[in-house]
């Protein structure tokens, strides 16, 4: 069995804006396989706080140990999330999150962003996109991911277009430790 850790990320396109349906889909994803990290990500719903409450309660019910919210720092703190997954536009908020005692993950797409994340002492970062992903930049590929993993001393989460078991096996071959996905877990 693989030691590759799994980081589930939600998106209303796949999980719904409706709290009942959201909980049903999330429960199904959480019971389908072992999840090490889970992140509530929603940039479009009008009921984000309600969905975030459903998310954290459902994750806790399924004994998820690392529960994150994407970008919403004050909401994450208020609802008891373990950490904040910051966007690539939120580097200036890493210290704010750390000062709140929360874990920090930041989205990175370049070596310059990775170096900035390390300098600002983020706990982890995502590097993406690894594979083709709708509406995202050209994929960097597993060869580039391997170089990044070898070059930098920070937990790197492979992200982007990871939807099939064959891709997960490629990530294992380049010594990835964590991968994140929306569609893989559905």
What pLDDT is recorded for position 2? 62
Over range 3-25, report the average pLDDT: 96
What is the CATH number assigned to the segment(s) 5-185? 3.20.20.70
pLDDT at 58 over 80: yes
The tens digit of pLDDT for each residue in 159-181 reads 999 999 999 999 999 999 999 99
What pLDDT is recorded for position 137? 81
The tens digit of pLDDT for each residue in 116-148 reads 999 999 999 999 999 988 777 889 999 999 999
**What string of DSSP letters covers the chain?**
----EEEEE--HHHH-SSHHHHHHHHHHHHHHS--SEEEE--SS-TTHHHHHHHHHHHHHHTT-SEEEEES-HHHHHHHT-SEEEE-TT-GGGHHHHHHTT-EEEEEE-SHHHHHHHHHTT-SEEEE--SS--TTSPPP-HHHHHHHHHHH--S-EEEESS--SHHHHHHHHHTT--EEEESGGG-
Question: What is the pTM for the complete model shown?
Answer: 0.95
What pLDDT is recorded for position 1? 43
What pLDDT is recorded for position 168? 96
């Amino acid at each position: 069995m693989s030691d590759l850790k799994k980081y589930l990320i939600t998106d209303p396109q796949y999980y719904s804006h409706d709290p009942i349906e959201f909980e049903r889909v999330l429960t199904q994803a959480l019971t389908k396989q072992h999840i090490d990290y889970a992140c509530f990500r929603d940039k479009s719903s009008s009921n984000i706080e309600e969905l975030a409450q459903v998310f954290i309660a459902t994750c806790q019910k399924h004994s998820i140990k690392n529960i994150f919210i994407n970008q919403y720092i004050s909401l994450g703190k208020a609802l008891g999330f373990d950490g904040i997954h910051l966007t690539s536009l939120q580097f200036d908020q890493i210290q704010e999150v750390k000062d709140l005692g929360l874990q920090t993950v930041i989205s990175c797409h370049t070596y310059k962003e990775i170096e900035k994340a390390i300098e600002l002492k983020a706990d982890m970062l995502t590097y993406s996109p690894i594979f083709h992903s709708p509406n995202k930049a050209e994929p960097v590929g597993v060869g580039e991911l391997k170089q990044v993993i070898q070059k930098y001393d920070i937990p790197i989460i492979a992200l982007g277009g990871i939807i099939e078991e064959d891709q997960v096996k490629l990530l294992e071959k380049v010594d990835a430790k964590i991968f994140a996905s929306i569609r893989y877990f559905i």
